[in-house]
Amino acid sequence: MITRKRLAAAVCGALLVTLTGGLLPAAALADSGDEPAAKEPPKVELVLDVSGSMRARDIDGQSRMSAAKQAFNEVLDAVPEEVRLGIRTLGADYPGKDQKRGCKDTRQLYPVGELDRTEAKTAVATLAPTGWTPIGPALLGAADDLEGGNTTRRIVLITDGEDTCAPLDPCEVAREIAAKGINITIDTLGLVPNAKMRAQLMCIAEATGGTYSSVEHKEELSDRVSQLVDRAAEPVVTPVATKGADRCDDAPQLKAGLYTDRETFGQHRWYRVDLLPGQELRASVSVAADRAVNRDYGVLLRASTVHGREMVRGEAAGDGRTDVISTGLRYPKPEIEDADTDKPAAETVCLRVSNSFSAPASVKTSPGLPVELTLDVVDGPDNAADVAFFGLGRGWWLLGLLTLAGFAAGLLWGWITRLRIAVWRTN
């Protein structure tokens, strides 16, 4: 899952590759036929901050806690029947000053399962603003609450403050949850946020491909939480967690689909795909900078034979202005003419994903950066020459045309400039 900001960056990368040879058709994943027909019910856990600061009366003239309770009542009335929903609290029970005890103050208020609206509303009604803000421990608890099965999982965190349980950084906790590959998305909602709180909640959301929202009115809170719960019920393409190898011989064998992995700074990850004669492999990769990184970085997607001969590559570079960088490639395997067998042997294509990210010494490099790998195998073009080497295809003609146009424009502008200078001197 990718945030709205990341989605925009990824779309830009996809458009670039499409112009230079084409990328995965949108309907390809839906037609892969590998997904099971029956889907398990999606799971959602609402994590509510009940710390002492929720007493503040700055949301439409009422306390933050009162606004949250009213919003929860409206959300619980509208939860889709197919959603399995639970509620977890943080800071609801311990009012003292012992940080060690305060940072353990998180519990499941209502278990994840079929929703009894009356029971859930009654549980929420008993809450009163009390203690600390242990966001990190609450996220770990929510991830445990959502374990089991193979379905969409979403955590919706509603809080009015920063985590008060350092050094357990909730952003690092979110990265650890994402690195487990259990497909949990964390969405965050900040009640009347300041700049530091906003940065922390955005980091938590982006680490798992979730969203961040600022809330200053009760209606906004109710509407946003309802949207996120509804989104869990929407059919989506769920990425399959995989683990690339350090060399092609040990790489996982992949089919068409969407895959997620983690890659440390400067690492190479290998994957394998089988391709029959007459088929074309289309692959794209996105690497997300989910933490502070140095400027000037790149990502390389390279296809080669099992013997190491490069067949095609795609590469892209960035300078720190985007938190996702994407590239792609196409490789058609020509038909075999006059083949002696009805079942020609498949060719194993080795895919290598590399990155040139680096980070300041203070930034943790573990877990690695999030990687999304998209693969599709389709019928190849009638003429393999339609896809030129390095994945640009007919884009080479466009590149050459643009180069000539730029050269001609430069010459014309130079002549005009010289003419203007000559006229100026004569006057």
Question: 65 and 143: one domain?
Answer: yes
| 87, part of any domain | yes
Q: What is the CATH number of the domain that holds 247?
A: 2.60.120.380
| Domain co-membership, 246 together with 275 | yes
Residues 244 and 199 in one domain: no
pLDDT digits (tens, 9 = 90+) for 387-406: 444 444 444 555 566 677 77
DSSP state of 148: S
**CATH code (residue 81):** 3.40.50.410
pLDDT at 27: 37
**19 domain-assigned:** no
Name every residue whose Cβ is closer than 8 Å to that of residue 251 and which is 6 or more positions away in sequence.
Answer: 244, 245, 270, 271, 272, 350, 351
| Ramachandran class of 78: left when φ > 0, alpha when ψ lies in -120 to 50, beta otherwise | alpha
Last residue of a domain, one of 187, 210, 233: 233
Q: Are 223 and 229 in contact (CB under 8 A)?
A: no
Q: What confidence tens digit (pLDDT) does each residue in 195-236 have? A: 899 989 989 988 888 888 888 888 889 898 998 888 888 766
The answer to whether residue 33 sits within a structural domain is no
Q: Which DSSP letter does residue 268 get?
A: E
Q: Which two tokens stand for residue 334?
A: 């020509």
Q: What is the pTM of this model?
A: 0.63
Q: Which amino acid, 52?
A: G
Helix H segments across 268-307?
Answer: none
Three-state secondary-structure class, residue 237: coil
Q: Is 279 exposed, middle or buried (0-12, 13-18, 19+ CB in 10 A)?
A: middle
Range of the domain at 327: 240-394
Q: How far apart are CA 110 and CA 122, in angstroms?
A: 10
Same domain, 196 and 103: yes
Residues 345 and 284 in one domain: yes
Q: What percentage of residues in the chain have a pLDDT greater than 90?
A: 49
Whether 65 and 105 share a structural domain:
yes
| pLDDT score, position 23 | 37
Q: Do 48 and 183 lie in a common domain?
A: yes
Looking at residue 304, its pLDDT comes to 95
Query: Mean pLDDT per segment of 10 residues, for the chain of length 427 residues?
Result: 42 38 38 53 95 93 93 92 95 93 95 95 94 95 91 93 88 90 87 90 88 87 89 74 94 92 93 92 89 90 94 87 81 72 79 94 87 88 47 50 72 73 67
Number of folded domains in the chain?
Answer: 2
> Does residue 20 fall inside a structural domain?
no
Question: 3-state class of 311 per DSSP?
Answer: strand
User: Is 175 found in the same domain as 105?
Assistant: yes
pLDDT tens-digit readout, 23-53: 333 334 334 444 444 578 999 999 999 999 9
User: What DSSP assignment string belongs to 339-375?
Assistant: -SSSSPPPEEEEEEEEE-----TTS---S-EEEEEEE
Residue 401's identity, in one-letter code, is: L
pLDDT of residue 390: 40
For the CA atoms of the chain, what is the radius of gyration?
26
Do 211 and 265 fall within a single domain? no
